[in-house]
Amino acid sequence: MSNEKKILIDSLYINSGGGKEILDLIVNYVYKNNLENFFLFLLDSRYDVPIHSNKKIDFVKISPSEKGRKDFYKQNKNFKSYFCLSNVPPPVFIDTPCGIYFHNDLFLNPFKSNLGFTTSIKNWIKKRYIISKINKTYEWSVQTELMKKKLNNIYGIENKKIHVYPIFDSNKIISTKTNNSFIYVCNSSKHKNHKRLMDAFIKAANKIHGKLHLKLTLSDNEFKKSEYNRTNIPDNLLIQNIGIVSKEKLSNLYLESKFLIFPSLNESLGLPLIEALNRGCFIIATDK
């Protein structure tokens, strides 16, 4: 099928975290509904296509850079429409229907993210770049009404151009839970609030007689360098790092855990909140 009849899903820069979960859901939906002839995926070279759909969906992988992205757009024109999944509008002006899915709160208020000066500067530059590529004809999608309000206030995008379309796995599964079992689905970024969480668990463990069990999904290397490797951990507190896991394994972890704890301060939606809720977890999260 020619490009004129296809939709380009531009997901460059997406390879981990919540963005990857959203992309996985879209790829799986296209695969399961036999829609592969209607889409071309522009993928980040670091992204692993779900095995079952690897040979079926139509995709191109390139290294993550705006230069490579711009070259792709110049060499592959005339798509029916464009959908940019990774927050950033097209690198060149598009005069056909174009939508941007914005889901990274860090590109709204870079200096309020507690990520350190260097990372904040990088995110500020990305914010300025995104603003430079905004066009009044583009449509925007976000996950929450709060994100819609922020996008309007900070980026100056008209409310009528911003649509709330949360993307998540809505399947509900109920199971028997283990008491005092907590899971935090996260990476090692500073805004994930690991130090405060560890301080709180140590304080709680010192006040109660029962056992507390906290499971994490950090990489082995991240865990070794993290706040969770301390010498003053009470005997009744078990910190278990499961590592980076598959979607199926993560679903089982939710089913085993009684609580999802989510102290992160900078999230557009927080997909683990919905996934854990759909698997019967109680939610403990910041209201900021």
pLDDT at 54: 66
pLDDT at 227: 83
Please name the helix (run of DSSP H) or strand (run of DSSP E) that holds residue 221, with its range, or none.
Answer: helix 220-224
Domains (range + CATH), the chain: 3-164 (3.40.50.2000), 178-285 (3.40.50.2000)
Partner residues linked to 261 by β-bridges: 284
Residue 147: phi and psi, rounded to 5, are -65, -35
pLDDT at 156: 95
**What is the C-alpha separation between 281 and 42, in angstroms, rounded?**
35
Residue with tokens 């069990």: 213
Between the CA atoms of 85, 144, 94 and 71, what dihedral angle is there, to the nearest 10 degrees?
A: -30
pLDDT tens digits along 26-36? 998 898 888 98
**What is the C-alpha separation between 90 and 132, in angstroms, rounded?**
11
What's the pTM?
0.69
Between the CA atoms of 134, 35, 167 and 15, what dihedral angle is there, to the nearest 10 degrees?
A: -70
Helix then strand then coil, in percent of the chain rounded to 5, is 40, 20, 40
- One-letter amino acid at 230 equals R
Residues of the chain whose pLDDT is less than 50? none
pLDDT at 173: 58
pLDDT tens digits along 188-241? 887 788 888 999 999 999 999 889 999 999 988 888 888 888 888 999 999 999
pLDDT at 201: 93
pLDDT at 151: 95
